[in-house]
Structure 1
Amino acid sequence: MVAANPLFSGSWSLKKFKATVINDIWPEVLFFTLVATMVTLVSTMTSHSLAISNQMLTVLGTVLGLVISFRTSSAYERYSEGRKLWTNISLTSRNLAQIIWIHVPSQRMNKQTGQQQSGLSVVIEKKSMVNLVQAFSVSVKHLLRGEAGVYYEDLYPLVCFLPRFASHPPARATDDDMLPMWKASAMDTNCHRTAHTLTSRNMSMDLNAQRSSSASPPKDAVVAEEEKADVSDEGIYHSLRGRVSRKKKTFDPEKALPFVYSEHPLQPARNPPKESLYDYLPFLRIWKVIFHPFTHRNKKPAQNSFATVGRSLTGKKLPPEAVDSNVPLEITLFLSSYLAWLLRNGQLQPALASAMTTGIASLQDNVTNLERIRNTPLPFAYQAHLRISLWIYLFFLPFQIFTAFKYLTIPATAFGSFLLLGFLEIGQEIENPFNYDLNDLDLDHFCLSIQRELHEITAHCAPEPEEYIYTAWNQPFAPADRRTADEMMNDLDHLYHGPETGMPSIRRTLLKSWWDVDQMTRKV
């Protein structure tokens, strides 16, 4: 996302140039400039004058200006609303993670065995559900970008442990039993029944047992996969994750995710459209239009497995095809089932259960509103009528201003076309702010920010208050009393500890603190 003002911050760059709408409007600006050139040359070099009355110029220009302003404003409202909804997702994710990590008890009894459940198993359980909260925002990002399924470098490692079949052992799993989240990935479903999740040093026994009810791989194949697991972490990162080959880069946030085996190559977490020379020199597309029938006569259309934003022959952005994905819904269903399990086992207080229910409902509400923004463009009739009206206005503009401008009609028409068409195209571009355009919202940044915040929450050890409150580092009554909490607790002869002077003395100290702060923080 390009946010800096190129006129007052830094210098112009190719990236900032791509963020403009020049690539989208240059054919129209060129056409109307040629019309103005024709009008000027005919009117000055021949005896025929193409000038017409300009009485309607002011009226129609004012109306079109208001309509274009409304178009741009309504598009920015959608842009702003999309940002607010992502803020809500970030806030709700933090709240859910805090409830799961801090308020779900870490010490519990196993009802089946009557023994204390190991702390490791509880921490693994809670951390896995926090990772699922993180996976929700990532799945929403791919949904908004028209990328269906779960086989992405930043999503699959977070959800690969989830069950893939509705059946349970000893029932035999079939393709008909595959859960919607996995079936929607449009992958070869036969691999799901034989794949074994590999970590950096061992195989996941739980996943192995889950899939043992279906067709198991030969013993030799299992041994071979175990041997594959005994490799370095770096080798697993590059081979087992099935990553699509790409150039090495210094910034690779997917390295922070688990190293897991994938039965299918994982698509990139971010797959923007490829850049070309035409993106920086748009006028060269004229030659591409001329030679396109000859260079593409025998070429078959490329099969692109990723949903990206391309451009037409004239350079105009082509929006990606909107797809439906139920991955965010499936993730909220697993979070809801986890909440139901906590309530059945008495592991969560009713008030916190209500807060967690509200949080899950908020996630569902936000993703529904984001889909509404993506799937509800302005009506075609409104857009078509506005653009046609603007074209007619710009077409007749040089006829109306030639009498006053003469040869300046050409640059004046070019500037007017650039101005009005630019504002109209800006409204078109930010109407759906979830793609890879440089003016779109930086969804990757939002997801990585949520990831960092959730890991910060799970790094919190939830110590007992007395471990950090009554220490030599805490001065709770400053500035009136700058003694530490440890000193105040050990000074038993002080008025604070007296049965009759204790609380009155503490109140006087706090009142003095208020007075001192009020005086110290005001400017003279």
Structure 2
Amino acid sequence: MSLFSFAIYVCYEKLELAISIPLSVLGSVSVALGLLLAFRVNTAYERYDNGRCLIQTVTATIRNLSRQIWINVPEKTKQDHIQKMRCIKLLLAFFVATKHHLRHEYGTNYKDLQELLPKDWAPVSVTHGAKASATKESTHPVSKLGIRKKAHSMVHGIRTLPLVVSLHDTVKPLDNSGSLEPDVRNDVHNMRRSLIKEFFPDSDIADSTAPAIQQHAVQLALHEEKQHRHQPSSSTASETRPLLQSTSSAATYASDTSSLTPPAEYGDRAPFTSDEDLPDQGDGDMSLPLEILYRIALYINAAKSADKIESSFVSVITNSLDTLGNTLTTFERIVHTPIPKAYNIHLKQGVMLYIFFLPFSLVESLGLLVIPIVALVSFTLFGILAIGNEIENPFGYDYNDLPLNRYCDELKREVEYIIYHVPSHSHSILLDGQ
């Protein structure tokens, strides 16, 4: 902008061109632009502050729950001690899992999380219950999607699968610092697994993860693109190619109910089943933090059934677990609701136009000083925009984000002190400290 301002100064002073505009023209625009910028920064900081307040709520709730469970749940056997210890560790695991969940780091393959979860932990979000083995074997997009024996039918079928994939990026990176993107119905992440089963009845592709399916579709698209390069074609290759232009099933699968499968056999998870059960489409999923809360609630209910704790204590624990669930939902609201794209685009366009016309308005009154003044105004306005984008999502790894790792470590040290230094029961703690 300094070079542009210098060019305006030369045209006005040296070439004597009448390019000056009245300062009052930008006056009214300055007020509106200032309000927009103030709203942008205040909204971003409000999200940042709400994130910190929610972390404080989670920390306080876990502190209280750890103290209450450690003191009020009795230990009569070694098994009781192991179960209570696991419950305390699950409280910490909830905080750590929430941290990874907010950063879109799914699964349990993290050192800080694995040391808090039981060794036999099998999260629903990874295994999908009884389909755990099928999912684990379906991690490779080509050789492990159940297509070794049916490769020809697989390739033929995936050409008719209503997918929209990128030819170059297998998985679109999740960027919550930008604007909100609309849902795409034909995106593989939005597809029902029951529909995939219809296309591939003899394959376990329906039990695969969405990235694995997408990677295979991308490889197929790349193969077709190479073939089209050697063949004359009237259509030009685009970066994003729909593998299915239009089919009756793809157009109506969002509202079609004929492909709903009957209720699955739940085994020991549900003692009764009926026709009124929610149809199992194979899409059942749950975030890891929410699943941890369910496990803790089951432990508390089991302790109540065994007459280890009283009903009043169960109510206290339930209220605390509800608080953790509410904070998790609010966390997700902050992460998954960025500033709308229209607002960001209009604000950036307004700032650019304001900076562009500012030298024309100041060159007559300031002369050569228009260069540093415009540079200063540009630095200020663009800095405000950058601040809003930087602190809008405070749960990442940037320097201006909240130090989630430090919060988790501090809470872990506090709970460890309770476990190893505070007795779970005492008769004379105020007299002899024991």
TM-score, normalised with respect to structure 2: 0.63
* Structure 1 match to 2:63: 94
Aligned to 1:358: 319
Per-residue CA deviations over 1:285-338 (Å, capped at 9, x if unaligned) read xxxxxxxxxxxxxxx979899x7979xxxxxx8799999971111111111111
1:156-183 deviation digits (Å, cap 9, x = unpaired): 23225244389xxxxxxx976047xx99
Which of 441, 452, 467 is 2:402 aligned to? 441
Q: Distance in 2 between matches of 1:73 and 1:82?
A: 14
| Structure 1 unaligned blocks of 5 or more | 1-31, 108-117, 167-173, 192-299, 311-316, 474-524
> Aligned partner of 1:96: which letter?
L
1:461 alignment counterpart: 423
State the distance in 2 between where 1:426 and 1:379 align. Answer: 17
The alpha carbon displacement at 1:462 in A equals 3.2
Q: Choose from 145, 150, 159 the match for 2:103.
A: 145
Task: After TM superposition, give the deviation of residue 152 of structure 1 in Å.
Answer: 1.0
Select 1:177's aligned residue among 125, 130, 149: 130
- Residue aligning to 1:367: 328
Q: Indicate if the aligned counterparts of 2:2 and 2:374 stay in contact, CA closer than 8 A.
A: yes
Q: Is the 8 A contact 1:150 1:156 kept in 2?
A: yes
- Label 1:319 to 1:64 Cα distance change in 2 as closer, same or farther (>3 A): closer
Aligned in 2, Cα 1:309/1:63: closer, same or farther, shift over 3 Å?
closer
Name the aligned partner's letter for residue 401 of structure 2: D
Aligned to 1:384: 345
Distance 1:78 1:165, change over 3 A: closer
1:79 partnered with 2:48: yes
Structure 1 residues 95, 368: CA separation in 2 closer, same or farther (over 3 Å shift)?
same
When structure 1 is superposed on structure 2, of 454-463 and 418-427 the one drifting more is: 454-463
> 1:145–1:435: 8 Å Cα contact kept in structure 2?
yes
* Residues 179 and 338, structure 2, Cα contact 8 Å, conserved in 1: no
SS at match of 2:398: coil
Say if 2:82 is the partner of 1:124. yes
The CA distance in 1 between the partners of 2:341 and 2:22, in whole Å, is 32
2:92 matches 1:134: yes
Identity rate of aligned residues, in percent?
32
The CA distance in 2 between the partners of 1:469 and 1:145, in whole Å, is 45
> Is structure 2 residue 379 aligned with structure 1 residue 418?
yes
Query: Counterparts of 1:152-171 in structure 2 under 5 Å?
Result: 152-164=110-122
> Match of 1:326?
287
Alpha-carbon distance between aligned partners in 2 of 1:408 and 1:438, rounded to the nearest angstrom: 35
Which one scores higher on RCO, CA 8 angstroms, separation ≥ 6?
2
2:356 is aligned with 1:395: yes
CA change 1:421–1:190 in 2 (3 A) is closer
Is 2:74 aligned against 1:105? yes
Segments of 5+ residues of structure 2 without an aligned counterpart are 141-166, 184-188, 190-284
Partner of 2:24: 55
Q: Secondary structure at the match of 2:380?
A: helix
Over alpha carbons, which structure has the higher Rg? 1
Q: Which residue identity lines up with residue 464 of structure 1 in the other structure?
A: S
What is the rounded CA distance, in whole Å, between the counterparts of 2:314 and 2:47 in structure 1? Answer: 33
1:419 maps to a residue whose letter is: T
C-alpha distance in structure 2 between counterparts of 1:58 and 1:392, whole Å: 13
Q: Which amino acid aligns with 2:372?
A: P
3-state SS of paired residue (2:91): helix
Counterpart AA for 1:152: Y
Residue 379 of structure 1 deviates from its aligned partner by 2.2
Return the alpha-carbon distance in structure 2 between the equivalents of residues 375 and 444 of structure 1: 21
How do 1:330-341 residues align onto structure 2 when only pairs under 5 Å count?
330-341=291-302
Counterparts of 1:385 and 1:318, CA distance in 2: 14
1: CA distance, partners of 2:425 / 2:416: 17
Specify the alignment match of 2:2 in structure 1.
33
Root mean square deviation, CA, Å:
3.3
Greater displacement, 368-377 / 32-41:
32-41
Specify the SS of the correspondent of 1:440: coil
- Corresponding residue number in structure 1 for 2:33: 64
Would the alpha carbon gap of residues 47 and 165 (structure 1) be closer, same or farther in structure 2, given more than 3 Å must change? closer
**AA matched with 1:131:** K
Following the alignment from structure 1 to structure 2, what is the Cα–Cα distance between the partners of residues 308 and 386?
A: 23
* SS across alignment from 1:85: helix
For residue 463 of structure 1, report the CA deviation from its aligned partner: 4.4
Q: What is the SS of the residue equivalent to 1:105?
A: coil
What is the alpha-carbon distance in structure 1 between the residues aligned to residue 131 and residue 407 of structure 2? 31
Q: Is the 8 A contact 2:6 2:371 kept in 1?
A: yes
Shift of 1:138: 0.6
Q: CA deviation at 1:470?
A: 3.3
Structure 1 residue 469, shift from structure 2 partner: 2.6
Distance 1:126 1:344 in 2: 15
How many residues align structurally? 303
CA contact (8 A) 2:97 2:288 kept: yes
Paired AA for residue 128 in structure 1: R
Q: Is the 8 A contact 1:79 1:430 kept in 2?
A: yes
TM-fit CA distance, 1:383: 2.0
Deviation at 1:454, TM superposition (A): 1.4
| Greater than 6 Å deviation, 4+ residue runs | 300-305, 307-310, 317-325
Q: Given the superposition, is the C-alpha separation of residues 470 and 156 from structure 1 closer, same or farther in structure 2, using an over 3 Å criterion?
A: closer
Structure 1 residues 335 and 189: alpha-carbon distance in aligned structure 2, compared to 1, 3 A threshold: farther
* Amino acid corresponding to residue 161 of structure 1 in structure 2: K
Q: For residue 25 of structure 2, what is the amino acid of its counterpart?
A: M
Q: Secondary structure at the match of 1:155?
A: helix
Whether 2:376 is the aligned partner of 1:404: answer no
Corresponding residue SS for 2:402: coil
Secondary structure class of the residue paired with 2:115 = helix
Could you report, residue by residue, the CA deviation over 1:240-262 in whole angstroms, capped at 9, with x for unpaired residues? xxxxxxxxxxxxxxxxxxxxxxx
